[in-house]
Amino acid sequence: MDKQELFSRAKEAIVDADESKALGLIAEAKNENFDLLELLLSGFGAGNQEIGERFDKGILSLPELIYAAEVMKSVTNRILELLKAEGENPPTKKGTILLATVAGDVHDIGKGIVASTLRTAGFDVIDLGCEVPVDVILEEAKKHNADIIGTSALLTSTMLEQKKLEKLLTETGDKDSFITMVGGAPCTPRWAKKIGAGGYSEDALEAVKVALELMEEKNKK
């Protein structure tokens, strides 16, 4: 089985919410020495994106979305277990990142993949879930002494919550205490720059890259 076929089958397993098939593919990929993290992002992740798009278009109901999300979580947890078992030593802690999907937005799947990938890369991740108000985000960031606050917005209407967070950080004098990152389908590097966020990432792999770069800059100060 070649890589593209594996990715295609993995995507299909998530779209069909077939947990048994998905876990079977992971075992098969491991036996054939495929890169499991790449499988998670490019295979199962593609299915996750397809599910989100179908929900946005009204093709998929909320219960169906939640069911697919549970399968995705099982897949992610299984791959992370295998990656952890394969690692001889745990990665050095890179920093603490707090993640949240903003208020008014129920999309939680993509952020879950980002959280898992960041953990694999060595970050401590506090995932607040979805529909989180900005004041709660700031409160939790202080509580956990976070280095980075990452917010996800999958709807154009909820992007304004990311702007609201930047405003709150400025008003409370906490702007210099936390690095902020934004992501989500309607977000762009231009949006991040416009609202004053420290970084932007399009997907989980880029989130790790950007977070590492931002932490490197912070540690130089």
Domain at 107, CATH number: 3.40.50.280
Residues 38 and 129 in one domain: no
When divided into structural domains, the chain yields a total of 2
Residues 103 and 81 in one domain: no
β-bridge pairing 179-183 and 123-127: unpaired
Residues 76 and 146 in one domain: no
Percentage of the chain beyond pLDDT 90 is 57
- Site of tokens 């934004």: 182
Q: What is the CATH number of the domain that holds 70?
A: 1.10.1240.10
Residues 102 and 70 in one domain: no
Q: Among 86, 121, 154, identify where a domain stops.
A: 86
pLDDT at residue 22 greater than cutoff 80: yes
Residues 102 and 198 in one domain: yes
Q: Which helix (H) or strand (E) holds 103?
A: none
- Site of tokens 């989180």: 132
Residues 108 and 216 in one domain: yes
pLDDT at residue 153 greater than cutoff 90: yes
Residues 23 and 72 in one domain: yes
Domain that holds residue 153: 95-220
pLDDT of residue 88: 46
Residues 73 and 46 in one domain: yes
Residues 146 and 183 in one domain: yes
Please indicate whether residue 75 or residue 136 has the higher confidence score (pLDDT). Answer: 136
Q: Among 55, 86, 117, identify where a domain stops.
A: 86
Residues 201 and 111 in one domain: yes
pLDDT of residue 92: 67
- Vertex 213: Cα angle to 116 and 219 (nearest 5): 110
pLDDT of residue 115: 87
Packing angle, helices 159-172 and 134-143, rounded to 10: 50
Q: Among 29, 51, 86, identify where a domain stops.
A: 86
Mean pLDDT (the chain, rounded): 90
Residues 105 and 16 in one domain: no
CB burial class (10 A; 0-12, 13-18, 19+) of residue 27? exposed
Whether the model clears a pTM of 0.75, i.e. scores above it, the answer is no
Edge-to-edge order in the sheet of strand 123-127? 123-127, 95-101, 148-152, 179-183, 199-200
Residues 213 and 105 in one domain: yes
